[in-house]
């Protein structure tokens, strides 16, 4: 690989990791937080959904700050999946396993996000259905959908939290094994907390 190619790949990886934190990571946190209002019942949750529906320039916000960054992050993520060479089976290092799980959860999220967008946005437009607390609760009565949601929530929580660990290395925030070890502990705790928050919100719909 030429020096120019290495430099180009270096900057692309930086942009890829940055998009995973902002705006995608911010959106994940907002999404988990908003869904948590389901804990307080249908009226509160539906009120939050209506608030977001009435935001000015909603389509532009979603297109430029969610769809385009997500598409760019996903496309380069697929490139990493097909070109990366993790050594987990040969060496068994913990971080190599985390690398592998990061790639696996990324692929899962491609299908999960596509499905999630369809059932909450595209199908709502096609069939003129309102996404409400009742709509979500009814959908989650299907055990296949419920457990698919559990897998998606856990995958999103892990991919984001572990992505922060990678981001800190790529951007030179954590330099050296000790700093990386402590960041690994912090991000693992974040993963557990986010997964717990997401699943608790899901259970609030599962009435």
Residue ranges per structural domain of the chain: 3-205
| C-alpha to C-alpha distance for 102 and 130, rounded to whole angstroms | 34
pLDDT tens for each residue of 114-145: 999 999 888 878 887 888 999 999 999 999 99
Mean pLDDT of 176-202: 95
Domain 3-205 grouped into CATH 1.10.10.10: no
pLDDT interval class at 92 (50, 70, 90): low
Question: What helix, strand, coil percent values describe the chain, rounded to 5?
Answer: 85, 0, 15
Tell the residue number behind the tokens 């988990």, with chain if given: 32
Q: Is the pLDDT of residue 87 over 60?
A: no
Instruction: Look at residues 75, 129, 139 and name the one whose alpha carbon lies nearest to residue 107.
Output: 75
pLDDT tens for each residue of 72-86: 999 999 988 888 765
Mean pLDDT of 147-155: 98
**DSSP 8-state code for residue 122:** I
Q: Residue 108 has what pLDDT?
A: 97
Mean pLDDT of 14-18: 93
| C-alpha to C-alpha distance for 29 and 160, rounded to whole angstroms | 9
| C-alpha to C-alpha distance for 201 and 194, rounded to whole angstroms | 11
pLDDT tens for each residue of 18-72: 999 999 999 999 999 999 999 999 999 999 999 998 999 998 999 999 999 999 9
| C-alpha to C-alpha distance for 24 and 139, rounded to whole angstroms | 25
Share of the chain above pLDDT 90, in %: 70
Length of the chain counted residue by residue: 207
b/e per residue, 95-113, with b = 16+ CB within 10 A?
beebbebbbebbebbbebe
């Amino acid at each position: 690989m030429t020096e120019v190619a290495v430099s180009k790949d270096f900057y692309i990886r930086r942009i890829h990791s940055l998009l995973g934190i902002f705006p995608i990571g911010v959106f994940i946190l907002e999404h988990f937080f908003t869904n948590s209002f389901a804990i307080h019942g249908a009226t509160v949750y539906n009120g939050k959904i209506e608030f977001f529906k009435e935001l000015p320039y909603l389509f532009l916000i979603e297109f430029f700050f969610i769809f385009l960054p997500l598409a760019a992050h996903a496309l380069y993520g697929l490139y990493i999946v097909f070109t990366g060479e993790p050594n987990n089976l040969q060496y068994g290092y913990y971080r190599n396993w985390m690398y592998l799980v990061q790639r696996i959860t990324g692929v899962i999220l491609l299908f999960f996000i596509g499905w999630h967008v369809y059932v909450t946005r595209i199908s709502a437009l096609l069939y003129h259905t309102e996404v409400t607390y009742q709509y979500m609760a009814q959908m989650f009565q299907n055990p296949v959908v419920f457990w698919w949601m559990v897998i998606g929530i856990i995958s999103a929580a892990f991919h984001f939290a572990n992505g922060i660990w990678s981001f800190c290395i790529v951007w030179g925030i954590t330099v050296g094994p000790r700093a990386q070890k402590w960041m690994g502990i912090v991000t693992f705790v974040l993963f557990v907390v986010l997964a717990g928050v997401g699943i608790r919100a899901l259970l609030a719909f599962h009435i």
